[in-house]
Amino acid sequence: MKFVNETENGVQVTYSSFNLKWMVGGSLLLTAGSLYLMSSVMDVGIIRGFFNFLIGTAGLLFFGGILLRMLTIAWGNKILFQIKPTGFVTRKGKEIPFSDIQGLSFGWHSSRPTGMVFKDVILHTDQKSILKSKAYLCTYNLLDDDEIEAIINKYVIPKVSESCKQAWLKKTSSDVHNDKNPNMPT
């Protein structure tokens, strides 16, 4: 695994600088396109100008937000999250013990706005008052899905409860079967 640094205190999951450059470049290009749409309001008719302004504003908010997030990631440390022998450590330094984890999932979600843009590792816990029953480890789409699953399979699954382990294995094996098209010859 290319983006895993093993240390005495556990494992640090980092991101690819190449992927970060592509994310910054893409969001910069789309933000510039949104600004262009907003600036072309006067060059076209009233109705088309109104729609250009609306679409440009929505694009500026969306892609500009992604650009700002990617730039803050670029200037911060390169560690997305850590896996210690006792649990996860988020980017902000919060530790989530393996004993509190009741379930794991990975992907997009609608629980918070960034979950609809960036894939998260979601930790379902039983500590409702401390962690609000879920903790999110954002990957900012800077690592491949296969890489994240391999990290979880190698460093996390052996340390969580049996029910969590079975649920994760069932989920990942069903995802593999769902990705294959039954109508396609093998």
Q: Round to whole Å and give the CA distance between 15 and 81.
A: 10
Nearest to 121 by CA among 96, 104, 141: 104
pLDDT of residue 112: 87
Element at 62 (helix H, strand E)? helix 46-75
Q: Is the pLDDT of residue 144 over 60?
A: yes
pLDDT of residue 131: 46
pLDDT of residue 127: 66
115 and 127 Cβ atoms separated by less than 8 Å? no
Element at 8 (helix H, strand E)? none
**What's the pTM?**
0.79
Q: How confident is the model at residue 126 (pLDDT cuts 50, 70, 90)?
A: confident
Amino acid code (one letter) for 137: L
Average pLDDT, the chain: 86
* 157, burial (CB in 10 Å: exposed 0-12, middle 13-18, buried 19+): middle
Q: Is the pLDDT of residue 184 over 50?
A: no
Q: How confident is the model at residue 129 (pLDDT cuts 50, 70, 90)?
A: low
